[in-house]
């Protein structure tokens, strides 16, 4: 396991794509409603093509989800931007991510907060993402192999929780591990009916709202 230090990463200058190529994608998702300057800045500087297989690298800056193996996908950039912007409606120092996947969303979260705890069920994805982000200079993420929807009590409470896989409901474990003033952003539903929701934990209870319809890979059973 790598030694974790709370140092926020900087991605400027990394990757081989031109600023124009990334810029077109950023302008597109900005026009779709992702306007948080900090989120856009991180997405602009992060080379998305290194998170997909070489054969798909030419499609990395399209606004589309792409396969990353094991039946999983790297999410559509607009969806990543929307979820990140929704989570960071205010500063959040410690964030729990459910579903590391290829590590793209993790790499966007890392510069925006002090610490990320990222959980992934599929061990090969967990290891690949951990090694890739280490190579990118990320030192403020704790990577763990496990059931994300059970949360990670060892590092709770969290100021924010973001899930990249759909669940039929919000597990109580996540609510229990959320700090007062914290926020959950995740897709819920099943089959063709999935909605991105936000839950805010206040001193008087939970406030839930729907954002928009989405389409995510289903929650997996067991560890892979």
Is the residue at 199 inside a domain? yes
User: Residues 65, 21: contact at Cβ < 8 Å?
Assistant: no
Is the residue at 10 inside a domain? no
Beta bridge partners of 199: 184, 208
Strands 158-163 and 178-190: parallel
Each residue's pLDDT, cut to its tens digit, for the chain (224 residues) gives: 223 344 577 776 555 556 788 899 999 999 999 999 999 999 999 999 999 999 999 999 999 999 999 999 999 999 999 999 999 999 999 999 999 999 999 999 999 999 999 999 999 999 999 999 999 999 999 999 998 889 999 999 999 999 988 888 999 999 999 999 999 999 999 777 899 999 999 999 999 999 998 888 766 555 55
User: The CATH number of the domain where 59 resides is what?
Assistant: 3.40.50.150
Q: Measured between alpha carbons, how far is residue 75 from residues 40, 44, 83, 92, 154 in Å?
A: 16, 16, 11, 22, 28
Instruction: List the catalytic residues.
Output: 75
Beta bridge partners of 142: 117
Is the residue at 173 inside a domain? yes
- Residue 17: predicted pLDDT: 57
Residue count of the chain, please give it: 224
Q: What is the pTM of this model?
A: 0.90
Q: How far apart are CA 119 and CA 177, in angstroms?
A: 14
Domain that holds residue 160: 19-213
Phi, psi (deg, nearest 5) at residue 218: -70, 160
Q: How far apart are CA 39 and CA 37, in angstroms?
A: 5
Is the residue at 61 inside a domain? yes
Nearest residue to 174 via CA among 197, 193, 140, 142: 197
Chain centroid to CA 83: 8
Nearest residue to 71 via CA among 102, 105, 114, 117: 102
Is the residue at 13 inside a domain? no
User: Residues 34, 40: contact at Cβ < 8 Å?
Assistant: yes
When divided into structural domains, the chain yields a total of 1
- Residue 34: predicted pLDDT: 97
Is the residue at 62 inside a domain? yes
């Amino acid at each position: 396991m790598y030694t974790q230090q709370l140092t926020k990463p900087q991605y400027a200058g990394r990757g081989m794509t031109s600023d124009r190529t990334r810029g077109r994608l950023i302008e597109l998702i900005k026009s779709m409603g992702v306007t948080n300057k900090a989120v856009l800045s991180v997405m602009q500087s992060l080379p998305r093509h290194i998170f997909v297989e070489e054969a798909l690298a030419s499609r990395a800056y399209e606004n589309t989800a792409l396969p990353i193996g094991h039946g999983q996908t790297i999410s559509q950039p607009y969806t990543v931007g929307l979820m990140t912007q929704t989570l960071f409606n205010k500063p959040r120092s410690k964030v729990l991510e459910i579903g590391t996947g290829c590590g793209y969303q993790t790499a966007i979260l890392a510069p925006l907060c002090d610490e990320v705890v990222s959980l992934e069920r599929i061990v090969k994805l967990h290891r690949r993402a951990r090694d890739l982000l280490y190579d990118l200079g990320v030192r403020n993420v704790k990577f763990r192999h496990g059931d994300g929807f059970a949360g990670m009590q060892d590092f709770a409470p969290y100021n924010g929780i973001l899930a990249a896989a759909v669940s039929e409901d919000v597990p109580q474990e996540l609510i229990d591990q959320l700090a007062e003033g914290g926020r959950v952003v995740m897709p819920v539903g099943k089959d063709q009916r999935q909605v991105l929701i936000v839950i805010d934990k206040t001193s008087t209870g939970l406030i839930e709202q729907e954002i928009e319809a989405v389409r995510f890979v289903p929650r997996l059973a067991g560890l892979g």
